[in-house]
Amino acid sequence: MARVLLRFSESIVEEPIIAQIILELKIPINIITAHVDSKGGEVLAEVPNEALDKVIKAFRQRGAVVSLPKLIEVDSEKCISCGACVTLCPVESIKIDEDKSVVFDKEKCIGSICSACVDACPTRAIKSPKQNNAEAAANCKL
């Protein structure tokens, strides 16, 4: 499965775009997180790898902004095993191993809509998913 970050502006947020695309393309879309109100919405979703291009195109055609979140990277050289990132992670994506190294579970991380660990790290050992996401969007040729 591939993760896509979908942003819906105020003008389209009330349209059932995700449901329409599921029905139209006949593919499953798994919603991981969703932050939606009357001013707009941001949804992190998983789609099958083989359908990724079609899904991105379909969302963009309906006015959504689509980017491909790349997740955080931890520089173990800079990490002092303080544990600040572990306690702040809302999805328990990071833990400190028995050898005091930081272990990051990419399957759980919700990426660019979070970044709590990036801001918490006193040694800047964690690379921002916001930076990575911008790079990914810039590199996406769809």
Contact residues toward ligand SF4 (CB under 6 A) are 72, 74, 79-85, 88-91, 93-94, 102, 109-110, 114-117, 120-121, 123, 125-126, 129
- When CB distances to ligand SF4 are compared, the closest residue is 114
Residue 142: CB minimum distance to ligand SF4, A: 24
Closer to ligand SF4 at the Cβ: 52 or 79? 79
Residue 79: CB minimum distance to ligand SF4, A: 3
Residue 98: CB minimum distance to ligand SF4, A: 14
Closer to ligand SF4 at the Cβ: 55 or 117? 117
Alpha-carbon torsion 79, 107, 92, 136, what sign?
A: positive
Residue 9: CB minimum distance to ligand SF4, A: 24
Assess contact for 98 and 31: CB atoms under 8 A. no
Residue 30: CB minimum distance to ligand SF4, A: 16
Closer to ligand SF4 at the Cβ: 62 or 127? 127
Distance CA 95, CA 101 (A): 8
Element housing 74 (H / E) = strand 73-74
Closer to ligand SF4 at the Cβ: 57 or 130? 130
Report how far Cα 51 is from the mean position of its chain's Cα atoms: 18
Burial of 93 (0-12, 13-18, 19+ CB in 10 A): buried
Distance CA 77, CA 66 (A): 33
